[in-house]
Amino acid sequence: MLSTPDDKIEIQEFFEQVSYALSLQFKEKWRHRYSERFINIFQRMLMEAFSSQKAIKISELEEEFITKNGYDKLVVSDFFKTIDISLYYPIIYKGR
């Protein structure tokens, strides 16, 4: 299957989005609303997904934040909506 110019633009936009999510600017923007530790967890999990080349289910992110780190489900849900977690597909996906 041949790639189209639109495919290249989408891939570039995806990598720009991920790069931003891993940046200091992202951390600075959101650390006051969610805490620096919260943002560090998100950035760590994103990096681990890339280094292992394994996508993350949203439910795995929720488990990490809620069960393992004690964050409130509403805070996690608000974060996902605020950053528009769908922009991180295919590295972060809904699953079944």
CA distance 93 to 43: 16
Distance of CA 1 to the CA centre of its chain: 28
For the stretch 37-55, pLDDT in tens is: 999 999 999 999 999 999 9
Residue-averaged pLDDT of the chain: 93
> pLDDT at position 8, please?
77
DSSP 84: T
